[in-house]
Amino acid sequence: DSIKIFAPATVANVACGFDIFGFAVDAPGDEVIVRKRTDKQIVITQITGDEGKLTYDISKNTVSVPILKYLQYTQISEGFDIELHKKMPLGSGLGSSSASSVAGVFAVNELLGKPLVSKDLLPFSMEGERVACGSAHADNVAPALLGGFVVVRSYNPLDVFKVPTPSELFVTIVHPDIEVNTKDARHILRNEVSMKNTIAQMGNVAGMIAGLMQADYQLIANSMIDFIIEPVRAILIPEFFEVKNAALDAGALGCSISGAGPSIFAFSKGLETAEKVGIAMKSSFEKVGIIANAYVSGI
Annotated binding site: 89-99
In the set 69, 86, 137, 276, which binds ligand HSE (CB under 6 A)?
137
Q: Are 124 and 69 in contact (CB under 8 A)?
A: yes
- At residue 251, φ and ψ (nearest 5 deg) are 110, 10
Write the binding mask 85 to 124 for ligand HSE: x where contact by CB under 6 A, - elsewhere.
Answer: ----------------------------------------
The question of whether 48 is a catalytic residue gets the answer: no
Nearer to ligand HSE, 66 or 259 (CB): 259
19 binds ligand HSE (CB under 6 A): yes
Residue 33: beta bridge partners?
Answer: 4, 83
In the set 5, 9, 11, 12, which binds ligand HSE (CB under 6 A)?
12
Quick check: helix, strand or coil at residue 124?
A: helix
Span of 27-35, 99-107, 132-140, 264-272 interacting with ligand HSE by CB under 6 A: 132-140
In the set 47, 228, 246, 260, which binds ligand HSE (CB under 6 A)?
260
Q: DSSP for 181-230, please give it.
A: -HHHHHHTS-S---HHHHHHHHHHHHHHHHHHHTT-HHHHHHH---SSSH
Nearer to ligand HSE, 71 or 173 (CB): 173
Q: Which of 242, 234, 229 is nearest to 290 (CA)?
A: 242
In the set 259, 280, 281, 284, which binds ligand HSE (CB under 6 A)?
259
Quick check: helix, strand or coil at residue 123?
A: helix
Give 186: exposed, middle or buried? Use CB within 10 Å, 0-12, 13-18, 19+.
middle
The question of whether 62 is a catalytic residue gets the answer: no
| Interatomic CA distance for residues 161 and 198, integer angstroms | 22
* Options 129, 165, 230, 239, the catalytic residue: 129
Q: Which residues are annotated as a binding site for ATP?
A: 89-99
Length reported for the chain:
299
How many residues bind ligand HSE (CB under 6 A)? The answer is 12
Binding site for ligand HSE (CB under 6 A): 12-13, 18-19, 137, 139-140, 182, 185-186, 259-260
Active-site residue list: 129, 182
